[in-house]
Structure 1
Amino acid sequence: MSAEASSSAVTSKKSKKNKSKATDAVDAATTNGEEVDKNKRHRKDKPWDTDDIDHWAVESFPAPPTDQHRPFLEESSFALLFPKYREPYLRSVWASITSALEANGLACELDLVQGKMTVKTTRKTWDPYVVLKGRDLLKLLARGVNAPQALKVLQDDIACDIIKIGGLVRNKERFVKRRQRIVGPNGSTLKAIELLTECYVLVQGNTVSAMGSYKGLKEVRRIIIDCMNNVHPIYRIKELMIRRELAKDPKLANESWDRFLPTFQKKHLKTSEKTAKKNAALERQSDPSVNPNSIPISAPVTSTTTPAASAPAPAAKKQKKVYTPFPPPQQPSKLDLQLASGEYFLKPKEKEIIEKRKKLEKQQEVAGERRAMREEAFIAPPEKRDDTVQEKKKKRKRAEELM
């Protein structure tokens, strides 16, 4: 008998023994009147694991006594660049940041020449993860979060998330509109997101900075990315409000909440419906008597209405175009225009000079318009002049004459 045949025979015997043991365990459980799940046959009882233990609780990690502390073998460090406009603020608060990091056994440096912030471990560091918290602190400071708020990330139960939204939308105007949709009118949408997720959210530039619990950060990232994908945040806000109310009911703790949560479906309009909607909007804009924000309501015609009242207003007849059998005159081409102006006969250098001059004139015109727009903010409003003594006397005389 070969070695392969002998090994296969041994494995088959072992598998038969294991199957027999498993069937014996299932038979013993069924005889006791208990149904055993297939995936829980070999699971043993854990007397130390009771229901009153919170497995998700973050335990504190205090500093060990000085006689038991041992420094790390290697130094860990993170460096991060910051924008130029943050330099004055970072210089003013760097002393408080340094003292806060020293309390956690970290050291930091601010390099104004290279525009760089660095955090690194020291011989007093006892928590190996705190250097990652220091890196998150530098990220938040570089993204515009103020120092008192950013220092909260050093706590064990608070994390941060930098959501990059700059590359999610190609069109710049559309990107600005959707980013403003996150903030909402007077910041109401952003405030609702912060209250429901219990996170701090800051929208600035091409990123959204968030601070809070891991569960809240997950919801914030979902809301932000959906908003940039043209899903309004109000839908997620409604869902979070319903979830908060359902969590208060202990009866629904072990039930599915799908029947309570709203389902929003996108409505795809036909081309004819889109055209009709666009034409109605243009008519409302062209007519000054109609409120552009009003929504037209088409009421059904009942039998009580008179024919004169129910009949629609006669539409203005379109003037018929005069039919001509001849085609429209051919428009002059670019070559014809160059021949008419004499530009065709110019030398290449002369053409370049003319094009540069036109380009320069256009740039000067645009620069002048932008300069005028910037200077509008610095134009002082007209000041009210107090009345002189003579003008006051004249006003007093007029008032006495009228009396």
Structure 2
Amino acid sequence: MSAEASSSGISKKAKKNKGKSVEDGAGEEPQEVDKNKRHRKDKPWDTDDIDHWTIPQFTAPSATEHKPFLEESSFALLFPKYREPYLRSIWSSVTSELDKVGLACELDLVQGQMTVKTTRKTWDPYIVLKGRDLLKLLARGVNAPQAIKILQDGIACDIIKIGGLVRNKERFVKRRQRLVGPNGSTLKAIELLTECYVLVQGNTVSAMGSFKGLKEVRRIIIDCMNNIHPIYRIKELMIRRELAKDPKLANESWDRFLPKFQKKHLSTSEKTAKKNAVLAKQSENAALQPNPNSIPISSEAGSGSASVPKRTPFPAASSNKKEKKVYTPFPPPQQPSKLDLQLASGEYFLKPKEREYLDKKKKLEKQHENSVKKQVEREEAFIAPPESKEESVEERRKKRKRPTAEELM
């Protein structure tokens, strides 16, 4: 009974409120209110002069308000042996910079590690992670003045591991060199366009800058390791930089301005399929179109030979035309290797000393042949030209004497 009474009471109240709202809104049109904003109220401190996108600066509290952390946080990182002399020379400046933000650091040369930890003066809980990034950059070969900038709020770092992206060592070295470019020009262009510091060393790439710039740097580096040249991404970034200056294009899509690069390298199966499709299309076109060189033959049997026009022979140039080779997907037969030739000649079964003796003999024979050829070429310069015999006086007279009529007859 109580449940029924309560439900009836709620329904009566709802009906009364509905009737009041109809009476109040009889003269005015009902306004539709969003369901999510029905109970939202204006906040007196939320005014138009407040910029919600600005990040307020996190400043150090006063000495009276500051309270130390309950627990100590620390990070330890190993560094390579070749960095030890440099780290020893700049460790005093690193210690002073970390002391400004309330951090302590240690350099252990026996175990080869660096440690950063919080102190009772530390007031920023995130600064210990910045200190860890500073040690990472120092271990990866970044100079101390550049690495210390990571302690600023607007700068982040990213260490990209590229060692395992390419299996072949030679390919890896070539693609890593592409990032640097001739005289470091490609790396300089990436730094200018992304506004980041980039260092390529060993199996990693260290980058420092804004989060947006680091995202572009990572994309360029991974694409380069996947055989996409950095120049394509650099061109795209340059176009985006110019488009951002135009306020009219702020709310429009930039896809029509950006270049679209297609991958030209096809696999062997794709090449075969493409060639087969072209050959099939050519054969279809040849079957559909009549041959312009065909000769019409008359239906009469008797006068067939007279009606058939004589075909002119093709010029000599057409006979020299090379026949088009038919494409086959099968590779050519494998040529015998050096080992196969040794087995065929029996040289493989000889002892090492006998093999050396044969090699020396062949080498000496070849040298002898070359020396003989050179000697013949040298002696050609000393061969006298053929001498012509001087004509006698009688022979000259016979030439001068005119032939008689009888001789001419």
TM-score if structure 2 supplies the norm length?
0.58
Per-residue deviation at 1:340? 4.7
1:238 aligns with 235
Q: State the match for 2:173 in structure 1.
A: 176
Q: What amino acid sits opposite 1:103 in the alignment?
A: K
2:78 to 81, 84, 101: 81
Q: Which runs of 5+ in 2 are unaligned?
A: 273-316, 323-335, 354-409
Residues 1:128 and 2:125 are matched in the alignment: yes
Please name the residue that 1:204 is paired with.
Answer: 201
Match status 1:149 vs 2:146: yes
Contact residue 58 and residue 157 of structure 1 kept, 8 A: no
- Count how many residue pairs are aligned between Structure 1 and Structure 2: 275
CA distance in 2, matches of 1:144, 1:163: 14
TM-align CA RMSD? 4.1
Confirm or deny that 1:106 pairs with 2:103. yes
**2:266 & 2:346 partners in 1: Cα distance?**
45
Q: Percent identity?
A: 79
**Mapping of residues 13-92 of structure 1, within 5 Å:** 54-92=51-89
1:158 equivalent to 2:130? Answer no
CA shift, 1:59, in A, is 2.7
Q: CA–CA distance in 1 between the matches of 2:251 and 2:30?
A: 25
TM-superposed CA distance for 1:253, in Å, is 1.1
Contact 2:193 2:238 in 1 (8 A): yes
Matched residue, 1:300: none
2:255 is matched by which residue type in structure 1? D
* Aligned mates of 1:250, 1:46 — CA distance in 2: 33
The answer to whether the 8 Å contact 2:194/2:217 transfers is: yes
Pair 118,183 (structure 1): closer, same or farther in 2 beyond 3 Å: same
* AA matched with 2:96: S
Hey, what's the Cα distance between the residues in 2 that align with 1:241 and 1:39? 43
**Change over 3 Å in CA distance of 1:232–1:114 after alignment to 2:** same
The answer to whether the 8 Å contact 2:130/2:151 transfers is: yes
Deviation at 1:331, TM superposition (A): 5.9
Residue deviations 1:25-80 (CA, integer Å, cap 9, x gap): xxx9xx98999999988877677667765545443222111111110000000000
CA–CA distance in structure 1, aligned partners of residues 242 and 341 of structure 2: 71
CA-to-aligned-CA distance 1:334-362 (integer Å, 9 cap, x gap)? 7x97995479xxxxxxxxxx9xxxxxxxx
Q: What corresponds to 1:318 in structure 2?
A: none
Matched position secondary structure for 1:170: coil
Q: CA distance change for structure 1 residues 161 and 50 in 2, over 3 Å: closer, same or farther?
A: farther
Distance 1:339 1:155, change over 3 A: closer
Which residue does 1:365 correspond to in 2?
Answer: none
Q: Residue 128 of structure 2: SS of its match in structure 1?
A: helix
2: CA distance, partners of 1:235 / 1:32: 59
**Structure 1 CA distance, aligned partners of 2:156 and 2:108?**
26
Q: Which has the larger radius of gyration?
A: 2
**Cα distance change, pair 338–258 in 1 and its aligned pair in 2 (3 A):** closer
Q: CA deviation at 1:99?
A: 0.2
Check if 1:224 corresponds to 2:221: yes
How far apart are 1:250 and its partner, in Å? 1.0
Tell me which stretches of 4 or more aligned residues in structure 1 moved more than 3 Å: 31-58, 268-275, 330-334, 336-343
Distance 1:48 1:220 in 2: 41
Contact 2:342 2:348 in 1 (8 A): no
Q: Which amino acid aligns with 2:181?
A: G
Question: Which SS does the other structure have where 1:89 is aligned?
Answer: helix
Letter in 2 for 1:65: S
